[in-house]
Structure 1
Amino acid sequence: MIAINRRQEFFPGLALLVLLVVGLLSLVVAPSSRAGSSFDSSSWGTQQFYAYLEQQGFRVERWQRNYDNLNNLKSKGHILLQISGRPIGWPPPLVEWLAQGNTLVRFYWHGEPTAAPFETRLSMPQGNVLVETRRRVPVRQGDRPLLADDYGWIVYLRRSHSPPNHEQRILGVYPWLVANAYGGETGLANFAIVAQLLQEVVKPGATIYFDEWLHGYRQRTPEDVARGTVPQTLFDYFSRTPWLAVGLQLVLLFFFLLWQQSQRFGSLFLEKEPVSSNSAAYIEALAGVLQRAQQRQFVLKQLQDRLRYDLAGQLGLAINRHPPPKDAELIQAWQAATGRSPEDLHDLLGVIPTVDDSQLLRWLKQAASVLQALKTAT
């Protein structure tokens, strides 16, 4: 009887713990709404591009108000720049503002997957433009390509010719075209190309507004506060409710109660689940982060250190001695053991200024050949 009571006290606590873990996981896995913001200094923010436009003499500001306030701008011909990895809608006030002769520049996921390579470098007069997506937009009559390759359009101009509309929209299939990851010392011309596109459509005295309202940065008027606090419509009420999180928790609670009611008082026998490799998952996640951050030089440095360690161990040199064996000592010992040219090992341990994926694969093949030669010789 005491065991049964303890079991009844244990299950509610376990259910609460499961719901808490699911809620935390949903927050971690959900994509960040800040990506693409000019306030964001991470790899996928646009803080560097905002500063670049200021340096080039553009008038830039951050838009942090409701789209209803766009129509309060006195002059026309302005540009609203929207960058987001999430779906973006078409609010009626924004469409009305565009019809007055303003321009929308929007970089977001759309288009269709093609046979294009995931990493494409386009050679332009200003330099190379890096695009990391297979998505393209097919040729469409009435639109004009601004950045394209043999597989389709990457950035294009869509203009309305129906009076009284004079709106024009510049749309890109890749959200991170001007992200911080492509600025700085990368040597890429992504910033320069997009700045030139903006220069062609911006009117004298007009302003380029970075849409920060889209990313959750708010500068509200008293009317905005009242509108945001009280739902205006039934749809507005439902849109503010996190139904996905609520639904997941209800489903988990239902299955938990179903499982609890179907248990016997005897011992529970469960099949053994296959053990997943946490190390492999960690390595794959780290590799994905390094690939997105373009840290190939860092990867090469780690591989070279590992090669030095393996060579020292197979050649019988002290692995943990201080200081460790120098490259010249490793090369001399390897040449004596294998009889091969020291240039083969010198190229692997030397400094490589620029590294791409093909060079990394070639380095790995040469390193395997060097270790195999030593293994055969000994």
Structure 2
Amino acid sequence: MRLSRRNFWFLAIALGALILITLLAAPQNNNIRNGSTYSRAPSGYGAWYAFMEKQEIPIQRWQKPLEKLPEINNNQPTNTPTTLLRINSGFGEIGMFPQERRWVEKGNNLVILGLREPVTEASFTTRQESAFGKVTISTTRRRKELKNIEERLGDRFGAIVWEKKLGNGKVIYATTPYLGANAYQNEPGNYKFLAELVSEDSKLILVNEYIHGYKDKETIVAENNQSWVSYLAKTPLFPAFLQLVFILLILILANLRRFGQPTKLTTSSVNNSEAYIQALASVLEKAETREFVLETIGKEEQLQLQKALGLGQTPVAKETLVNAWVEQTGRKVTELEEVLQIQSKKRRPSEQDLLNWLEKWQKIRQEIFNFR
């Protein structure tokens, strides 16, 4: 069907308005604030920053681009070693910025929290021993390759915090972005351990807040002194503009020619098995033969559980089934005995009793699934 000129422009304007409304009404992504010392959320570092100031440790928030780091533009080794703390990076080790590498090689230190490493079989939350007490770690990620690095914190699954020399400086990595987060205010070992990492061999500590979207006045003025084209390219409006252009091109082509023959809609096929089950369930419900349903489903559920426990397909004694269930899952005996006793009673259950019984079987199946 060919579009008239009036309908064509009406559709184009409607699509453009829809994209614009979506951009303006969509909730902002707050993930960039994770790890910020300005944040009071559990993932923020406001409490740790206050802890450092209370200890009178020289620490500042860095709200400029990396190319503005102290002494980064000269080729001489630094006389005042500085530590830059980058939190919640989400990168692999190759994600270090070139400016950071050059700066570290001059004799400075870089601490990166939240390095992307492979997931291991370690428990998600562990308490690691350190010289400052227990350090709570909430991640299963570990560094397994320990060649040419010094492990600062780890377990049998690999390193959690490690150090690597780079020129005259060093880089300290951690697989968790929450080492000193607000959520660990009651874990003094975490705050002291992180304080030691950023303080050693350093006269000043800078926390990179620029990556969290915070900029000082000088940076804002410098970045705003640019053309509207370069500004637009850094905003969500630019990809929206590209999408609008793409849609307009499609509409133009669709108005000039057709993209093939129309395809007839096919009716969806009826699932005979599902229809039969629903019809049978309706008949059983009207006949109120709940004891038949209890017996039939109970035997099948018992057989499926038996096979899941590795007891084969030949029916076994209930005691054998219960013992295998307890041994393999570690759950209570009463959980399984209760559902088996209900289906063995020779009385008609109420509809609510039947629903409760089916729900208990569902929980038992879920326990087997989680165990496997």
Task: Measure the CA separation in 1 of the matches of 2:189 and 2:142.
Answer: 20
Q: Report the Cα offset of residue 129 of structure 1.
A: 0.9
Structure 2, unpaired ranges of 5+: 73-77, 259-263, 269-329, 343-351, 357-372
Match of 1:175 in 2: 177
| Match for residue 114 of structure 1 among 84, 106, 119 | 119
Q: Which has the larger radius of gyration?
A: 2
Q: CA deviation digits over 1:322-368, x for unaligned, max 9?
A: xxxxxxxxxxxxxxxxxxxxxxxxxxxxxxxxxxxxxxx989x98xx
Contact 1:129 1:188 in 2 (8 A): no
Q: Deviations over 1:183-232 (max 9, x none)?
A: 234x4743233223334x244xx12111112222222548x84466348x
**Does the Cα contact within 8 Å between 1:76 and 1:100 map onto a contact in 2?**
no
Query: What one-letter code is carried by the residue in structure 2 that aligns with 1:176?
Result: Y
Deviation at 1:62, TM superposition (A): 0.9
Deviation at 1:45, TM superposition (A): 1.7
Name 1:218's counterpart in structure 2: 215
Shift of 1:173: 2.1
Select the residue among 142, 145, 149 that pairs with 1:139.
Answer: 145
Q: Kindly provide the CA deviation profile for residues 37-86 of structure 1, in whole angstroms up to 9, marking residues without a partner as x.
A: 11122222211111122233322111122333323498512211111345
Give me the TM-score of the superposition, normalised by structure 2: 0.56
Task: Rate the CA distance shift 1:105–1:24 in 2: closer, same or farther, 3 A.
Answer: same
Structure 2 residue 136 is matched with structure 1 residue 129: yes
**Deviation of 1:148 (Å):** 1.5
Q: 2:33 touches 2:44 (CA, 8 Å); kept in 1?
A: yes
Q: Superposition pairs for residues 1-378 of structure 1, below 5 Å?
A: 11-24=11-24, 28=27, 30=29, 32-72=31-71, 75-87=79-91, 89-92=96-99, 94-111=100-117, 113-117=118-122, 119-125=124-130, 126-132=133-139, 134-160=140-166, 165-180=167-182, 182-185=183-186, 187=187, 189-199=189-199, 201-203=200-202, 206-221=203-218, 225-226=221-222, 229-230=225-226, 240=234, 244-254=239-249, 375=353
Report the Cα distance in structure 1 between the residues aligned to 2:143 and 2:114, rounded to whole angstroms. 12
Structure 2: how far apart are the matches of 1:272 and 1:24?
39
The residue type paired with residue 44 of structure 1 is S
1:149, distance to aligned residue in structure 2 (A): 2.1
Aligned to 2:361: none
User: Mean alpha-carbon deviation: is it higher for 78-87 or for 239-248?
Assistant: 239-248
Cα separation, 1, equivalents of 2:54 and 2:27: 36
Q: Which amino acid aligns with 2:66?
A: Y
Paired position in structure 1 for 2:282: none
Q: Give the paired residue count.
A: 268
Q: In the aligned structure 2, how far is the partner of 1:261 from the partner of 1:117?
A: 60
Q: Secondary structure at the match of 1:38?
A: coil
- Local SS of the residue matching 1:97: helix
Task: Indicate if the aligned counterparts of 2:12 and 2:248 stay in contact, CA closer than 8 A.
Answer: no
Compute the RMSD of aligned alpha carbons. Answer: 4.6
User: In terms of mean alpha carbon deviation, does 141-150 or 240-249 score higher?
Assistant: 240-249
Secondary structure of residue in 1 paired with 2:145: coil
Out of 190-199 and 236-245, give the one that drifted further: 236-245
With over 3 angstroms needed to count, the CA separation of the structure-2 counterparts of 1:167 and 1:41, relative to structure 1, is: same
C-alpha distance in structure 2 between counterparts of 1:272 and 1:39, whole Å:
57
- 1:270 Cα offset (Å): 8.4
- Partner Cα distance (1:362, 1:29) in 2: 44
Partners of 1:271 and 1:46 in 2: CA distance: 57
Post-superposition CA distance 1:146-189 (Å, at most 9, x none): 122222222110113xxxx3110101122232222x2234x474
Q: Indicate if the aligned counterparts of 2:180 and 2:191 stay in contact, CA closer than 8 A.
A: yes
**Which ranges in structure 1 are unaligned for 5 or more consecutive residues?**
264-268, 274-360
CA distance 1:177–1:246, shift in 2 (3 Å): farther
2:151/2:159 contact within 8 Å kept: yes
One-letter amino acid matched to 1:63: W
Instruction: State the SS of the aligned residue for 1:105.
Output: strand
Is the Cα–Cα contact under 8 Å of residues 35 and 45 in structure 2 kept in the other structure? Answer: yes
Contact 1:119 1:131 in 2 (8 A): yes
Distance 2:109 2:266 in 1: 61
Following TM superposition, by how much is the alpha carbon of 1:102 offset from its aligned partner in structure 2, in angstroms?
1.3
1:15 touches 1:256 (CA, 8 Å); kept in 2? no
- Separation (CA, whole Å) in 1 of partners of 2:88 and 2:129: 25
Counterparts of 1:21 and 1:230 in 2: how far apart (Å)?
Answer: 26
Superposed CA deviations along residues 110-141 of structure 1, whole A, max 9, x for unmatched, are 22x23324613133251241223x33222232
Q: Distance in 1 between matches of 2:40 and 2:267?
A: 46
Inter-CA distance 225–362: structure 2 relative to 1 (3 Å threshold): farther
- The Cα of 1:271 is off from its aligned counterpart by 9.1
* C-alpha spacing 1:56/1:270, structure 2 compared with 1 (3 Å): farther
